[in-house]
Amino acid sequence: MLTSKQRARLRAMANALDTIFQVGKGGIEDALVKGVSDALEARELIKLRVLDNAAYSAREAADALAQATGADVVSVIGSRFVLYRPSENNKTIIL
């Protein structure tokens, strides 16, 4: 669980990030969960987007992916959201 100061710092870091995954009408499948988990291990902080034709809202997709990957939801703004999970091998973000 992140404190509000940690969440604010991660939000600031996420401003410069590009969106690397999109949740579309296919929903949240095993392949997407695996890809997000691998990206979190490599980068620790990732930005995702929910497309207009998806069955999920951004908040629902963020909560579902966070639960599936063991990550924390940093922020949800519009159709984009940011996830954070400390890496076990490549720890680069010190909170």
Residue 88's pLDDT is 84
Residue 91's pLDDT is 84
Kindly list the averaged pLDDT for each block of 10 residues, start to end, along the chain of length 95: 91 93 89 94 94 92 95 95 90 79
Domain assignment present for residue 94? The answer is: no
State residue 23 phi and psi, 5-degree precision: -100, 115
First CA to last CA distance, the chain? 12
Domain assignment present for residue 15? The answer is: yes
Domain assignment present for residue 34? The answer is: yes
Domain assignment present for residue 37? The answer is: yes
Which residues form the domain of 30?
4-84
Q: Which domain CATH number covers 34?
A: 3.30.110.60
Domain assignment present for residue 89? The answer is: no
Domain count, the chain: 1
